[in-house]
């Protein structure tokens, strides 16, 4: 493994305390200043001036054009902000408001992770709007879009749909037009909020009409912890550039990777024939081509964001649910998501698009299933397909899963890419002995 193994949630109680309370977990949910989950989208609508019905969306966009004059000509012209300026907490009161549960419920009486992805996306965008808030204006001239889900690490197998959940987050790094938002999620256990998830998103600011880049306010770290967070943001940017420059779409696999693929190839040759063409599946293995599932979404106006594009969170939920079904049918049991990695939003998805999602298992190890979902939109006029996103999900199954074998060169590259994503997690999966343990009845997290 290139980077020592699987991600453990780096969460601790009150892990980082810039500006007191930043990224802090256990706090009284009833205190002032916590948004209700319903308020997040309402607040976003208010900030961007979104229409509440589809008929008015053209008028709403026309109004946004007028905000162009509020855009800064340079980043230096914008006042610096602190991490605490964008810090927010959001309550999802599944315990205290049972009527909310239905939307979040799975048949196994756990919380739908796809819904959490949607909430994280909206929260990430709201955090970035808080960072760039113009205090004298109600609306923002910026169009902030999700560019990347850098990573999401789960530290609990499943969440209870009967206990309150709290999200918190803030901007942790800024570039010229991009921002990193770090978010955490906690669930009430006894009278304490315990950490359950850790997420890093990258958002990009665009002009009022979402046609070109726009500058974001600088960020000033105020304590050694904040400096460390900011430095980590810089490192993350460097890591992403390095990861992308060695992409298998650009470069040949390493010598070690080539050996892996060749050995897998040799292990599939039929010993009875002296031929490179007769391939036999080894025991307890599945051909990669047989691990696929596909779906189609018609992108209705209901799922639009202000810019008349489809919400990133909706795309993630759809991709996640397809990936889960893929892992489920591959492993033969209900898997749990462990990590989400490197979801890149390459192109916006327009309202009215036909969105094709294609999911396949591309790597497995012990109980782990690495699933890749590719999404593309079809242009009906030109009969062309354009890739909009690639999603990477790591699932854990309760029992050991079959190996997945590539047959073609292209599939071998998918295998290696899957292996790279799996290896980029930060702690060996097998070390996570507590992962399947349900919370104890004691009130410790």
Residues that bind ligand MFK (CB under 6 A): 41, 44-45, 48, 50, 121, 125, 145-148, 175-178, 202, 204, 206, 213, 240, 305-306, 309, 311-312, 344-348
Residue 264 or 390: the one with the smaller Cβ distance to ligand MFK is 390
Closest CB 120 distance from ligand MFK, rounded Å: 11
Residue 306 or 337: the one with the smaller Cβ distance to ligand MFK is 306
Closest CB 305 distance from ligand MFK, rounded Å: 4
- Closest by CA to 304, choosing from 34, 50, 17, is 50
**By Cβ distance, which residue is nearest to ligand MFK?**
175
Measure Cα distances from 289 to 31, 61, 259, 308, 377 in Å: 52, 44, 21, 36, 22
Closest CB 346 distance from ligand MFK, rounded Å: 5
Close Cβ partners of 165 (under 8 Å, ≥ 6 residues apart):
91, 92, 93, 94, 111, 159, 185, 186, 187, 188, 196
Residue 2 or 176: the one with the smaller Cβ distance to ligand MFK is 176
Residue 244 or 408: the one with the smaller Cβ distance to ligand MFK is 244
Closest CB 427 distance from ligand MFK, rounded Å: 24
Q: Residue 292 CA to chain centroid, in angstroms?
A: 21
User: What CA–CA distance (Å, rounded) separates 52 from 60?
Assistant: 10
Closest CB 203 distance from ligand MFK, rounded Å: 8
Residue 13 or 43: the one with the smaller Cβ distance to ligand MFK is 43
Residue 126 or 188: the one with the smaller Cβ distance to ligand MFK is 126
Closest CB 2 distance from ligand MFK, rounded Å: 20
Burial of 382 (0-12, 13-18, 19+ CB in 10 A): exposed
Closest CB 196 distance from ligand MFK, rounded Å: 23
Closest CB 114 distance from ligand MFK, rounded Å: 15
For 21, the token pair is 């309370």
With beta carbons less than 8 A apart as the criterion, state whether 23 and 182 touch. yes
Residue 76 or 191: the one with the smaller Cβ distance to ligand MFK is 76
Closest CB 374 distance from ligand MFK, rounded Å: 15
Residues in the chain: 445
Residue 369 or 377: the one with the smaller Cβ distance to ligand MFK is 377
Residue 140 or 158: the one with the smaller Cβ distance to ligand MFK is 140
């Amino acid at each position: 493994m290139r980077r020592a193994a699987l991600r453990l949630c780096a969460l601790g109680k009150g892990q980082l305390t810039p500006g007191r309370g930043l990224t802090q977990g256990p706090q009284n949910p009833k205190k002032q200043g916590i948004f209700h989950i319903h308020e997040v989208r309402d607040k976003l609508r208010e900030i961007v001036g979104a229409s509440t019905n589809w008929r008015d969306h053209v008028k709403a966009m026309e109004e946004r054009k007028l905000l162009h004059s509020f855009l800064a000509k340079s980043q230096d012209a914008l006042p610096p902000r602190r991490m605490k300026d964008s810090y927010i907490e959001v309550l999802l009161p599944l315990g205290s408001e049972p009527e909310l549960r239905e939307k979040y419920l799975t048949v196994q009486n756990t919380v739908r992770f796809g819904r959490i992805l949607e909430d994280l996306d909206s929260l990430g965008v709201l955090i970035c709007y808080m960072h760039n808030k113009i205090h004298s204006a109600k609306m923002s001239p910026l169009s902030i879009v999700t560019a990347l889900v850098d990573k999401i690490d789960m530290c609990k197998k499943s969440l209870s749909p009967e206990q309150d959940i709290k999200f918190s987050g803030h901007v942790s790094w800024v570039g010229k037009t991009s921002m990193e938002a770090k978010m955490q999620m906690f669930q009430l256990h006894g009278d304490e909020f315990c950490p359950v998830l850790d997420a890093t998103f990258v958002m990009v600011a665009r002009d009022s009409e979402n046609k070109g880049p726009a500058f974001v306010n600088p960020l000033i770290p105020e304590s050694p912890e904040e400096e460390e967070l900011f430095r980590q943001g810089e490192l993350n940017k460097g890591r992403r550039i390095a990861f992308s420059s060695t992409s298998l779409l650009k470069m040949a696999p390493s010598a070690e990777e080539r050996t892996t693929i060749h050995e897998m190839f040799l292990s599939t040759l039929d010993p009875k024939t002296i031929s490179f063409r007769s391939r036999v599946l080894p025991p307890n293995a599945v051909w990669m081509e047989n691990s696929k599932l596909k779906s189609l979404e018609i992108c209705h106006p209901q799922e639009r964001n202000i810019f008349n594009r489809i919400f990133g969170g909706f795309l993630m939920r759809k991709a996640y649910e397809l990936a889960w079904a893929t892992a489920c049918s591959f492993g033969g049991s209900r898997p749990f998501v462990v990590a989400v990695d490197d979801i890149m939003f390459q192109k916006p998805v327009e309202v009215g698009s036909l969105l094709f999602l294609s999911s396949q298992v591309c790597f497995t190890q012990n109980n782990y299933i690495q699933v890749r979902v590719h999404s593309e939109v079809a242009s009906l006029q030109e009969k062309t397909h354009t890739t909009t996103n690639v999603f990477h999900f790591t699932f854990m199954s309760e029992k050991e899963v079959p190996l997945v074998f590539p047959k073609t060169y292209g599939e071998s590259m998918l295998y290696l890419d899957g292996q790279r994503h799996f290896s980029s997690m930060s702690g060996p999966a097998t070390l996570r002995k507590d992962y399947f343990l349900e919370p104890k009845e004691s009130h410790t997290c």
